[in-house]
A and B are shown apart, each in its own frame.
Chain A
Amino acid sequence: MTADDHELLSRLADTVRSQIAPAVDDEYARTQAFMAAVILQRLAKQAQFFDEHRAAEFSDVAALADQLDAAFAAAGPAPGAQAHVPADVRDAVARMRRLSSIAAVSEVLEALYRWGPDGPVAAPALDTIRQVLRRDIDRRMEIAR
């Protein structure tokens, strides 16, 4: 999506809201037309923020993977050994790094909950992840609001 897409979608939303919807007599169809305008406006915002949000997501996920790897390394019995961090947690972090996707954080969370979310390593890891998720949902709210 591009800035041009954003402008086009915004204009379409304005046209539907200000010209098309008010001219529709049938109540159901009119409501649907106004709803279409709302959806077009959301899509316009999605286009507007797409590149910025994607870049932020890449950066956040990479930094999160670094932070979690460092925390797990520090928690091991010997530097870098990570002996008592379960394999599924480490694997999930590695996959998240490889995919560079916020969606892949879900697997890390599931593994942490299986391990025990209140543990001395898992609890701060959860806090770290939540900071990243807060930023991500705030970005998404720029579109959804």
Chain B
Amino acid sequence: MSATVAAARVEADLAGVLSEYLAERLGVSGSVAISGMERIAVGWSHETWLFDAAWPDGAGEQRQAFCLRRDPGNALLRHESDLGEQYRVLKCLEQTDVPAPRAFWHEADPAVLGAPAIVMERVPGECPSPWRRAGREYYAAAAERGVLPASFTDALAAVHNVDWQAAGFDFLGAPGTGCDFALREIAKWEALIDESGHPGHPILADLIGWLRHHAPDTEQLTLVHGAYRTGNVLIHDDRVSAVLDWELQVIGDPMYDVAYVLTELNREGTELLSNVVPRELFFERYQQATGIEIDEQRCAYYQLLYAMRSAAFWMSAAGLYADGANSDLRLARTHWSVTVALERAATELGY
């Protein structure tokens, strides 16, 4: 069967392909029944499918809820969020206190499941979008109840408390001493900007120059999620049941994550950090749980680095549409999101 024919078959009958795949992987002699297949719209990087599987075993019937993530090869951050790396990250996290889905299999060969893919457990919970009114109302109500703010803080502390060398995260590559972490991040996003083919703007040149000139020393290296906020964590019974979106993780300065929690960009119309945590609670609980003192000056620096990262994301997204690699008009619209990101950077630089 040619690769094209195989891919067409996968798309036409994904449930059937998954049934055969799971039967082989699970060593089931009978068939694996697939039900409740649902493609969910989360993020812009990968396709995400949820489904249930049931199969016979000696003791009766086994059931498992699964999540399939596939890389269509034309998505945003396609070079920064390799599924093979995500799989390794999830396997390493299994030995830690970080709530995360268990990853079962990684398929790099697109012929197997129609695209490079990972199959993992479907963790119970919901993930309301903080960019929608309903989501913001959900988080405001949860903040009132008081359990989620603590759980949200604890989950980040768990990420930063991971003994990353013992857990096997060396493959992510550790920055050198001094300001190497910040310089590596700048170089990463500059490379994405260069790839995008976007003409850029002098504010970006100013921002990059400023970031290089003021790059802070990193005092302590931890596992860093890279995008820790509501919308990237699954919530069940008012607690974080899984930290999701392991696409931008690095070994680096924990203040990089803290800055993302503190930033105004991740809350709308509320003083609650990431729409859910009172600032005092976050500071007190995070510092107590990690023993790491929050350095607001370094956080302010990283917020400017996030402005650069946002501009890089949007340039890359607009480039995908402009190149004809992706026909999603949401990507075309990001051409103007670059302007918004740069305006914010200009304001933060004191223009």
Contacts and interface: CB of A to CB of B under 8 A. Distances in A.
Most B C-beta atoms less than 10 A away, residue of A103, A108, A143, A144: A144
A4 to B, nearest CB: 22
Interface string B166-199: 0000000000000000000000000000000001
B329 A133 contact: no
A interface: dominant SS: helix
B200 interface: yes
B213 A117 contact: yes
Interface in A93-145: 102-103, 105-110, 112-113, 117, 126, 129-131, 133-134, 136-138, 140-141, 143-145
A35 B205 contact: no
A113 B203 contact: no
Interface in A72-108: 102-103, 105-108
Given A113-B212, A130-B349, A106 B205 contact: yes
Contacts of B349: 130
A138 B203 CA distance: 12
Interface in B327-351: 328-330, 332-333, 335-337, 339-340, 342-343, 346, 349-351
B343 A137 contact: yes
A59 interface: no
Nearest to A113: B209
A130 B343 contact: no
B203 A137 contact: yes
B293 interface: no
B202 A103 contact: yes
Given A137-B346, A144-B340, A106 B333 contact: no
B interface: dominant SS: helix
Nearest to A34: B329
A91 B339 CA distance: 28
A36 B350 CA distance: 35
Interface residues of B, number: 28
B210 interface: yes
A136 B342 CA distance: 11
A35 B203 contact: no
Interface in A2-36: 31-32, 35-36
Contacts of A134: 346, 351
On chain A, which size bracket covers the interface?
20 to 34
Contact of A141 (B200, B212, B213, B339): B339
A102 to B, nearest CB: 6
A39 interface: yes
B333 A105 contact: no
A106 B200 contact: yes
Interface in B202-242: 202-206, 209-210, 212-213
A38 B337 CA distance: 12
Contacts of B204: 106
B329 A144 contact: no
B313 to A, nearest CB: 15
Contacts of B337: 144
Given A35-B330, A42-B333, A133-B351, 16 more contacts: A36-B329, A42-B335, A103-B201, A106-B205, A109-B205, A117-B213, A131-B351, A133-B206, A134-B346, A137-B343, A140-B339, A141-B340, A141-B343, A144-B336, A144-B343, A145-B340
Interface of A: 31-32, 35-36, 38-39, 42, 102-103, 105-110, 112-113, 117, 126, 129-131, 133-134, 136-138, 140-141, 143-145
